Amino acid sequence: MATTPLIIPANSEKAIALAVRTLEIGQLIAVPTETVYGLAADALNSSAVADIYTTKGRPSNNPLICHVSNISMAKEYVSVSPFAQKLMEVFWPGPLTLVLPKKETAEIPLSVTAGLKTLAVRCPSNAVTLSIIKHLGRPIAAPSANPSGKLSPTSAMDVAQTLGTRIALIIDGGTTDVGIESTIVSVLDNRITLLRPGSVTADDITAATGHAVFDRETIQITAPGQLASHYAPTANVRLNATNAYDHEIFIGFGDYSGTLNLSEKGSLAEAAHNLFSFLRKADETGARTIAVAPIPNEGIGIAINDRLKRAAAPRQG
């Protein structure tokens, strides 16, 4: 029988204790991060991790990100080279996920890594979620809290509307700051490879390390967010539009005005913040197609275009 989840404000005195207790008994919760809301389970509980895949309808070959409270916790599960540590020191806590060699001693279920010998780790900057991880004493596995392939949630209400009857608890931290998922890079043999673009750009990483960031060279899924069709609304999506046709709703950017505008001032950061919520609003109008204005393919715009390209791709199934 479907039940309504308990939604509790992140600033409530009992939020952290209740979240930790729910995770400890093997149940799933939704937590806010600075990027999007995550569907969290105790990363060491194989049954709870399996529930993530079932609840989301997530393909089993799509690995999960382990969220840690600090660099020391990460080092318990992955091998951290001096090069990787530099990235952690510069960008953590924050929206950068590192794919690193998993330690043989790490008691991480194979389902978290999708059978790979690497593990994706991130330290989020949301204070409440960090505290939940710290009090739990081990990582949480937390993909976005949405049905697989659909729009990522940027508010507690988004989670409640899509997964609300399938989880016990939602920690309401308000609207997320960044609005798109974390950047993912692999750091193997001092080579940085971009696996998923995000708000931490390749230029940011190069500036911090002095090393080039290489593009992914394989079609094998090695990190979240690499499915061809992903982040998709119910409506079709038409890209690089300058106006709306019949049965379309237009999402503008900058001088391209529409029913909605990702950023009238042309700010890519603002556009990223608004992207999923505006796609959701456009979808709720019942329009057959969502037309989206051109987004400059630079800086955070690379990540926005990545999400839009996947939203517009032919749907699976």
Write out pLDDT tens, residues 209-224. Answer: 899 999 887 666 666 6
Question: H/E element holding 151?
Answer: none
Structure-token match 């090695």, residue found: 222
Residue 145, pLDDT above cutoff 60: yes
> In degrees, to the nearest 5, what angle opens at C-alpha 284 toward C-alphas 283 and 285?
90
Give the per-residue pLDDT at 165.
85
Residue 227, pLDDT above cutoff 80: no
Average pLDDT over residues 71-79: 98
74's CB contacts (< 8 A; 6+ apart) are 68, 80, 88, 121, 123
Instruction: Report the distance separating Cα 266 and Cα 253, nearest Å.
Output: 6
| Mean pLDDT value across the chain | 93
User: What does the domain layout of the chain look like in residue ranges?
Assistant: 6-215, 236-312
Residue 100, pLDDT above cutoff 50: yes
Residue 226, pLDDT above cutoff 70: no
CATH number of this structure's domain 6-215: 3.90.870.10
Write out pLDDT tens, residues 240-262. Answer: 999 999 999 999 999 999 999 99
Instruction: Report the distance separating Cα 261 and Cα 53, nearest Å.
Output: 34
Task: State the DSSP string of 18-80.
Answer: HHHHHHHTT--EEE--SSS-EEEEETT-HHHHHHHHHHHT--TTS--EEE-SSHHHHHTTB--
Write the DSSP symbol of residue 275.
H
Write out pLDDT tens, residues 269-282. Answer: 999 999 999 999 99
Q: Which region, left, alpha or beta, applies to residue 182 given φ > 0 means left and ψ of -120 to 50 means alpha?
A: beta
Backbone angles phi, psi at 183, to 5 degrees: -65, 140
Res. 232 pLDDT band, cuts 50 70 90: confident
Give the per-residue pLDDT at 273.
98
Percent of the chain with pLDDT over 90: 85
Residue 161, pLDDT above cutoff 60: yes
Average pLDDT over residues 181-202: 94
CA gyration radius for the chain? 19
Using CA atoms, how far residue 139 sits from 10, 66, 74, 121, 164, in Å, is 19, 6, 8, 9, 23
Give the per-residue pLDDT at 295.
98
Asked if 239 contacts 230 with a C-beta cutoff of 8 angstroms, the reply is no
Res. 5 pLDDT band, cuts 50 70 90: confident
- Of 119 and 316, the structure prediction assigns the larger pLDDT to 119
Res. 1 pLDDT band, cuts 50 70 90: very low
297's CB contacts (< 8 A; 6+ apart) are 305
Asked if 148 contacts 58 with a C-beta cutoff of 8 angstroms, the reply is yes
Res. 114 pLDDT band, cuts 50 70 90: very high
